[in-house]
């Protein structure tokens, strides 16, 4: 049963106006000492979609949530929901539900009272409000904790209560700041699933801030990549992960990052070997894009293999420094000829016989390599 009592909404209706952020800029401080945090941030989210915001620390992710909630106001730009400008609306008037990264529970209240207190602004009858609390507790699997205080809860239990406090209000816009932080693997899976199910049950437009691209890709319809206060990418999460627009974005949307090798304008490479066919293809791509700078080639660690390739591949040699177990796989840490570190995630059986400090040949299928026009961070070459 949906926690809010609403029917499952299914796929979001992308034709319904939702959140609109246009040209938003925000700085901290005054005058010449003001430090820009967000610069000309713009994006549109149809009602009912879930957006994950990813970016490094200091990118402006939490500040953007604060602006959406109404706790702070932008110096420039507009924020609107369903066509209504929120400039003069207080946080209470915006029908927003927000969870902070520290859970922010009332320590003197029980679990049930923590959740019920968040529903008080709705002004509904007490018996209906308590029925909804009971339903939500059951949906989140914490009905047995209803009389406990927050101090007696685990990190995962506290996080579930914080999420319940958000959704009990049936808000139009849900803002979750690092909802999966400091959770063990099992709890991360469970809480992620609960967030997605609750979001779908009430059809709320939802913004989730996370440092972990795995979390983002697991639940998000769309992804917003923030770098130094600017929107670097926005669109369907899977598309951005598969075809990042530049290498900085590529580093952020894969939990293992992306290695880079450079191919000069004449098609040569100092620390890798490429096939004549790929060299010709790159020349054609560069000509179409009118690129005269070197090509930056992105290699995902989990697509790199060891040994002599059977198909056209990019090859490079590196000195093996260490083997790190990674479940059913092993991460091979090696030193490239140019002094950079290479990480390759390979099946365990492929790594056992490789001696430490030995020279190892690594390769990646040409179809898995990604190409960008230099200089760093590059722009995608299609």
Q: In terms of domains, do 200 and 288 share one? A: no
Residue 62's pLDDT is 93
pLDDT tens profile 289-309:
888 888 999 999 999 999 888
Give the number of other Cβ atoms within 10 Å of residue 103's Cβ.
Answer: 21
Q: Do 370 and 317 share a domain, yes or no?
A: yes
For CA atoms 126, 130, 131, 136, the dihedral sign is: positive
- Give domain status of residue 61, yes or no: yes
Q: Over 60: is that where the pLDDT of 165 sits?
A: yes
Q: Are residues 274 and 199 in the same domain?
A: no
The three-class DSSP label of residue 314 is: strand
pLDDT in tens, 204-246: 999 999 989 999 999 999 999 999 999 999 999 999 999 999 9
Q: What are the backbone angles phi and psi of residue 185, rounded to the nearest 5°?
A: -55, -50
Range of lowest pLDDT (1-15, 83-97, 160-174, 192-206) = 1-15
Tens digits of residue pLDDT in 246-281? 999 999 999 899 999 998 877 778 888 988 888 888
Predicted model pTM = 0.87
- Over pLDDT 90: what percentage of the chain? 64
pLDDT of residue 103: 67
Give residues with Cβ within 8 angstroms of 302, minimum separation 6. 256, 329, 345
CATH number at residue 233: 3.40.50.300
Looking at the fold, whether 279 and 232 belong to one and the same domain comes out as no
pLDDT reported for residue 14: 56
CA distances from 197 to 8, 188, 194, 360 (A): 9, 14, 5, 46
Q: Which residues contact 189 (CB under 8 A, 6 or more apart)?
A: none
With contact defined as beta carbons under 8 Å apart, do 223 and 51 qualify? yes
Mind listing the pLDDT tens digit for each residue in 323-378?
999 989 999 999 998 899 999 999 998 888 899 999 999 999 988 999 999 899 99
**pLDDT at 5 > cutoff 60:** no
Which run of H or of E encompasses 262?
strand 259-263
Q: Each residue of 98-132: pLDDT tens digit?
A: 988 776 789 999 999 999 998 887 677 889 989 99
Listed residues 206, 228, 246: the one ending a domain: 246
Q: Is 318 in contact with 332 (CB distance < 8 Å)?
A: no
pLDDT of amino acid 276: 82
In Å, the largest CA–CA distance within the chain is 75
Range of the domain at 355: 256-380
What pLDDT does residue 268 have?
78
- Say how far apart CA 47 and CA 15 lie, in whole Å: 8
In the structure, what pLDDT confidence band is assigned to residue 16 with cuts at 50, 70 and 90? Answer: low
- Number of structural domains, the chain? 2
Same-domain status, 188 and 285: no
The DSSP annotation for 231-246 comes to: EEEEEEHHHHHHS-SS
At residue 291, the pLDDT reads: 86
> CA-to-CA distance for 378 and 376, rounded, in angstroms?
5
């Amino acid at each position: 049963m949906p926690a809010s009592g609403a029917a499952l909404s299914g796929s979001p209706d992308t034709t319904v106006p939702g959140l609109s952020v246009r040209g938003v800029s925000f700085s901290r401080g005054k005058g010449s000492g003001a430090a820009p945090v967000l610069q000309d941030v713009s994006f549109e989210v149809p009602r009912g979609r879930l957006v994950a915001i990813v970016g490094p620390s200091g990118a402006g992710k939490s500040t953007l949530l604060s602006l959406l909630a109404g706790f702070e106001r932008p110096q420039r730009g507009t924020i609107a929901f369903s066509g209504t400008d929120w400039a003069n609306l207080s946080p209470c008037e915006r029908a927003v539900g927000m969870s902070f990264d520290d859970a922010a529970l009332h320590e003197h209240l029980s679990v049930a009272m923590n959740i019920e207190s968040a529903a008080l602004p709705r002004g509904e009858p007490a018996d209906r409000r308590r029925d909804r609390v009971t339903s939500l507790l059951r949906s989140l699997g914490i009905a047995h904790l209803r009389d406990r205080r927050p101090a007696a809860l685990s990190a995962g239990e506290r996080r579930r209560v914080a999420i319940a406090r958000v959704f009990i209000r049936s808000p139009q816009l849900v803002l979750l700041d690092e909802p999966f932080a400091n959770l063990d693997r099992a709890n991360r899976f469970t809480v992620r699933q609960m967030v997605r199910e609750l979001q779908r049950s009430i059809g709320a437009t939802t913004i989730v801030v996370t440092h972990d691209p795995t979390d983002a890709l697991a639940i998000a319809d769309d992804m917003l990549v923030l770098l130094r206060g600017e929107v670097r990418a926005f669109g369907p999460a899977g598309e951005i992960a598969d075809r990042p627009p530049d290498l900085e974005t590529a580093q952020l949307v894969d939990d293992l990052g992306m290695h880079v090798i450079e191919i000069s304008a004449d098609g040569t490479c100092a620390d890798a070997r490429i096939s004549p066919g790929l060299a010709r293809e790159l020349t054609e791509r560069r000509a179409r894009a009118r690129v005269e700078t070197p090509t930056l080639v992105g290699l995902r660690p989990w697509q790199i293999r060891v040994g002599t390739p059977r198909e056209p591949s990019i090859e490079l040699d590196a000195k093996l420094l260490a083997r790190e177990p990674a479940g059913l796989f092993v991460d091979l840490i090696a030193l490239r000829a140019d002094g950079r570190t290479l990480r390759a995630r390979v099946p365990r059986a492929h790594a056992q016989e490789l001696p430490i400090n030995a020279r190892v040949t690594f390769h990646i299928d040409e179809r898995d390599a990604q190409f960008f026009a230099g200089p760093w961070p590059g722009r995608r070459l299609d």
